[in-house]
Amino acid sequence: MALTTLAGRFRCYALPNFREHQRRILYIGKATSGSFDKPDDVERSFNGQGAFWDFARKLSELANPDCNDLSNVAWSNIFKQGVVIGNPLGEVAEDQIEEATRMLRKEVNDLAPTIIVLVTIGYYEKIVKNAYNIAEGEIGEQALRQTKVEGEVCELWSRPRLDEIPPVVWLSHPMLKRREYLQAALSLTAEIADWH
């Protein structure tokens, strides 16, 4: 069995003026990619390249067309201890479940986002469900709702505000996703956050 090389610890990141924005997005991925072994790796990676950050820029613009530096987006990950290649699995992930749940809740309390957007469908969903009080089989206005996108197999879920937890939009990672799927996710975000 090959050894898993751990990456440096991740901490949620937002620019200093995040809380000044009326519309604040907590944008959550799975875990960091790469070694993250330098103190400024998080800052240098924020607003980077690739599908993850392209989608973050679209969310930011949707929330505020005048915001061009992602200052209305706070970046987090489910797991704060990543691995150098891929995402945490097995023991590396299982050892972090309790901390991951606690930290996702803490970030909501500390940052006061107006919406949570997760690009993590299919990856350690029990952490998200525990952190944001998403019950299986819940019914009624506060239930997790699926949005169907024509011709798309990827899932897209949402839930309105529930007590102290802001609205949640939950989708697959944007890498290699069809434009129609990502546009549906943006439309759903605007709708559930009441940004019309």
CB 59 within 8 Å of CB 189: yes
Question: Facing residues of 116 across strands?
Answer: 26, 168
Residue 1 lies in a domain: no
How crowded is residue 27: how many other Cβ atoms within 10 Å of its Cβ? Answer: 24
Residue 103 lies in a domain: yes
Question: Which range of residues forms the domain containing residue 187?
Answer: 6-192
Average pLDDT over residues 111-127: 97
- Please tell me the predicted confidence (pLDDT) of residue 54: 98
For residue 111, pLDDT over 70 is answered with yes
User: β-strands 25-29, 115-119: how paired?
Assistant: parallel
In the chain, the amino acid numbered 150 is E
Rounded Cα distance between 56 and 62, Å, is 10
Q: Tell the residue number behind the tokens 């960091």, with chain if given.
A: 32
Average pLDDT over residues 153-166: 92
For residue 139, pLDDT over 50 is answered with yes
- pLDDT tens column, 59-104: 999 999 999 999 999 999 999 999 999 999 999 999 999 999 999 9
Rounded Cα distance between 160 and 143, Å, is 8
Residue 113 lies in a domain: yes
CATH code of the domain covering residue 187: 3.40.470
pTM given for the model: 0.95
Residue 25 lies in a domain: yes
Point out the least confidently predicted range of 39-43, 60-64, 128-132, 185-189.
39-43
Determine what percent of the chain is predicted with pLDDT higher than 90: 82
